[in-house]
A and B are shown apart, each in its own frame.
Chain A
């Protein structure tokens, strides 16, 4: 981007005309990072608004001024407004304090998203993470539609059993085969987990197009039946503009008063510096990124390091 921004140095009162061309360069830069056009334009408008009438610092180019403003606005939208400490939240449900007068119950996480984005794989990675923390985890196979979905989780559960028990955790698969109603299966899995004193239930769901009315509307019943503590949506880093609508439609699918609790941005290892999808999805909904998927193995799960993300986006 540098070429476009090289101009006036220091102590300049910025006008719309000064900013117009370099802002267009910045917009194109974001598009190149796979930020959806809608999000890129809005981010740029925000930055421009904040800079018109501002005096550039001494020895500061317009270029550097815009960069700094964009960096801070990216940092701001990516920073969650509340704590994302999953383990602590689980703890508060599985070992409630006496004062809360709650009885212990399993913590329920369900994973949703469009087809093939990495729901089942990242669910298994979360299971591995929980096993490392010595939890008793029930994986519920509620994708009762896609061929091989149940067997896929069976293989993961078998692998994780071996790995996890070495770490002091315990994992089991709950499955009722294909063709069953997913909401019912989820509900049964949660009751079973309560009886068998599991700490966490991880519910896998079938991939669904966010523009498929029928499949999307079944999510409302699903949420009512499974009563998840957390609904995490997997968004794929490879996806372009569609990520905005995916995030919005899933966020609105769970009925009044219930929305997504976080995103898992998968396949970050496949996009290099083009990590714009996470900006698009957060921008569209204000929902935070809880995890990043960075590969196909159980340990390829990270929390979002905002400094890292902003650096890649601005590089």
Chain B
């Protein structure tokens, strides 16, 4: 699972250090080195890792540590805080409300898992009593509408799309208007994959967004993404100002550090993670319990300032 190996390694590095009999500066530096290596192997952005290294060093400030101070606790807390900072942007994601229409638009890179995930999310809300539906505004990818249609049919969720209209913002507007009229509560709009290097595709995203004025835009990120994560997610943030992230394919082997770097780069929270190809493979996500579970430090909760 995402970040599990990373967690194990970081945890081991911290406890090796704090258990060792002479906790000197060299050992402390060794621990930091090991943590950074683990983060880099997990695809965390190279610059972020550099900052984290500095930050832990500064907080702990090994040279000036007073003799009486509990070093173990101090170091654990510094590492934990830095990791929480990486995944917890302290931003509250949008929550749909019953009795009104909530429009959610999906954006992301090609093949990230948008179409699959938007059905999962529609089903998630449907099972919690929201009247949910799907709009296919991907008029580019071959078979995109068939894919959404087949998923929606399996999940018994109403859908809208067009096999002839080539302008995605027109399909999006028509679909959302129709579903609003029919008093649907969660209306999820799927869009084509795109990337920052192609301006036309970004312009198209803006047009769709204008056409449907979503209450929430969600960026979908593949857990295996590497060093491009930061630049891509920043560009999507600047253009579409998404308010939440969903990480997909966390059932794979990837550590997810690239996707985590996107959180740090855009100060946007992860709200769900995708854990498989099937309809029910979606889990809620919240950062702090995640990091403490990850580090096997259930008792660290008390150390964190709110």
Contact = CB atoms under 8 A, between A and B. Distances in A.
Q: Is the interface of B mostly helix, strand, loop or mixed?
A: loop
A274 B227 CA distance: 7
Contacts of A236: 111, 224
B207 to A, nearest CB: 18
A211 B226 contact: no
Nearest to A149: B143
A218 interface: no
Contacts of A197: none
Q: For the side of the interface on B, what is the size category?
A: 35 or more
B272 to A, nearest CB: 17
Interface stretch (A29-37, A46-54, A71-79, A221-229): A29-37
Interface in A268-315: 269-272, 274, 276-277, 296
A125 interface: no
Contact of A240 (B37, B43, B149): B43
Contacts of A159: 142
A33 B227 contact: yes
Contact of A151 (B43, B143, B228): B143
B182 to A, nearest CB: 24
Interface string A113-132: 01111101000100000000
Interface stretch (B76-84, B87-95, B247-255): B247-255
A145 to B, nearest CB: 8
B254 A242 contact: yes
B73 to A, nearest CB: 30
Identify which of A117, A147, A156 gathers the most chain B CB atoms within 10 Å of its CB: A147
Contacts of A209: 249, 251-253
A155 interface: yes
Nearest to B231: A272
A301 to B, nearest CB: 15
Contacts, number: 143
A68 B225 CA distance: 30
B110 A118 contact: yes
A234 B110 CA distance: 14
B227 A116 contact: no
B29 interface: no
A124 B141 CA distance: 13
A191 interface: no
A153 B227 CA distance: 31
A148 to B, nearest CB: 3
Contacts of A116: 110-113, 222, 249
Interface residues of A, number: 49
A277 B150 contact: no
B111 A270 contact: no
A241 B249 contact: no
A62 to B, nearest CB: 22
Contact of A115 (B145, B151, B226, B249): B249
Interface in A162-192: none
A154 B224 contact: no
A28 interface: yes
A38 B40 CA distance: 10
Contact of A239 (B37, B110, B151, B226): B226
Contacts of A150: 143
B216 to A, nearest CB: 23
Contact of A238 (B109, B140, B150, B151): B109
Interface in B10-69: 37, 40-43, 46
A105 interface: no
A241 B142 contact: no
A147 B253 contact: no
16 contacts: A31-B227, A37-B40, A37-B41, A116-B111, A116-B222, A145-B277, A147-B147, A147-B148, A149-B143, A150-B143, A210-B252, A236-B111, A236-B224, A240-B226, A241-B41, A267-B109
Given A32-B46, A116-B112, A147-B151, 14 more contacts: A37-B37, A37-B40, A38-B41, A114-B224, A124-B142, A147-B150, A148-B145, A153-B143, A155-B142, A239-B226, A243-B226, A270-B110, A272-B197, A272-B228
Interface of A: 28, 31-34, 36-38, 114-118, 120, 124, 145-156, 159, 209-212, 236, 238-243, 245, 267, 269-272, 274, 276-277, 296
Interface of B: 37, 40-43, 46, 109-113, 140-151, 154, 195-198, 222, 224-229, 231-232, 249, 251-255, 257-258, 277
